Amino acid sequence: MSRHDGTYDIASSYEDNYQKGPFIQEAPPQRVISPTHTFLGFAVNSRLGVPAGPLLNANWILAYASLGFDLLVYKTVRTVATPSHPHPNCIFLETKGLIKEQDFGNRLLATTKQPSVIDEISITNSFGMPSRDPKMWQEDIQKAKRGLGKGQVLIVSVVGTPDQGNLANDYAKGASLAVDAGADIIEINLSCPNVVGGEGSVFTDPIFSSTISKAVKQAIGSVPLIIKIGYVRDTTKLAEVVKANAPHIDAISSLNTLSFEVVNADGSSALPGRLRSGICGSVIRGCAIEQAKRVVVLRQKEKYDFVIIGVGGVMTTDHIRQFLNCEIDAVMSATGAMWNPHLAYQYWQEGK
């Protein structure tokens, strides 16, 4: 690995990582291709993938495909070009252990020191869901789609932009453009904590979120639709959100990052101008597993037929198994895959 020991160089800007990454110096190990699993109607090699976030463009998609991740989510796109928040965008956290609900409201401490153990890596990130112009990302999605192997699917994450008019219509427009470019599956991101507009908190509103999912589903027809949600502390509200969206969706991806205030040792914002940012990595696994279990219970109780994707704090192969043991259908790793790009291969090797 390179000096920063991750496929995304947190010491460099988003643009540098977009243009030059991913930073993988080791050749991908070879595995036997065997599409023996099913995911939203597609025959796939495994139930393991990378969620929206780390896979910035086709180069990143194809690199992780070669590493054995089979469910690949192209980083969130918009109908209008949108820049990233300024560098820095990622910083390590000093927090150890798992965040619990009683920790919500606390400030977390940033550090420049990278943990030596993969299971202890947690970060805060703040990008703001940047996007290239649609013509550019459509061409890049086509490149990604052409390069995928047997038993792999391309999921494109889409978000609407409030200043483009009707937000639901803008989500639907972006989803249609992604389908036209070759997306196998659409994911609508309702849950980013790093934006200043309303597009980041839609998942907490049953009526508004279902208005969006309905509009998108009508626009994309038979193409499978995933909604990406954040953590919902109120179980009644979670049930309302799931119930409202269930008629329009094929899958729920849970969860996105947790939103916290992150500071330096002197109390200043770790990310200048952005006191609050998203928390990823090992510390969020407890909340992620808990919400996955809650969604599973709702699916069983109400006899919903959507697929459940577990995301959050998946750093090791044991964590993959912990999620799958919750009776979910697929698992995705972002931070874990960034600092342990051979995670999918290790999981495959253990299951041979």
Indicate the domain borders of the chain: 34-86+129-258+281-351
Q: For residue 287, indicate whether it is catalytic.
A: no
Q: In whole angstroms, what is the distance from residue 146 CA to residue 169 CA?
A: 29
d(CA 176, CA 161): 15
Q: Among candidates 186, 125, 182, which has minimal Cα distance to 155?
A: 186
Nearest to 175 by CA among 280, 248, 83, 231: 248
What CA–CA distance (Å, rounded) separates 157 from 184?
A: 11
Instruction: Give, in degrees to the nearest 5, the angle at Cα 130 between 313 and 229.
Output: 40
Q: Which of 192, 280, 287, 326 is an active site residue?
A: 192
ω into residue 86 within 30 of 0, thus cis?
A: no
pLDDT for 200 equals: 52
Mean pLDDT by 10 residues, the chain (352 residues): 70 97 91 95 98 97 98 98 96 94 96 94 95 98 98 98 91 98 97 51 91 97 98 96 98 95 96 93 98 98 98 98 98 98 96 82
Q: Provide the CATH topology of domain 34-86+129-258+281-351.
A: TIM Barrel (3.20.20)
Residue 93: predicted pLDDT: 98
Strand partners, 92: 111, 123
DSSP 331: E
Q: Give φ, ψ of 340 to 5 degrees.
A: -140, 75
- Give the CA distances from residue 276 to residues 203, 246, 289, in Å, rounded to whole numbers and listed in that order: 18, 31, 23
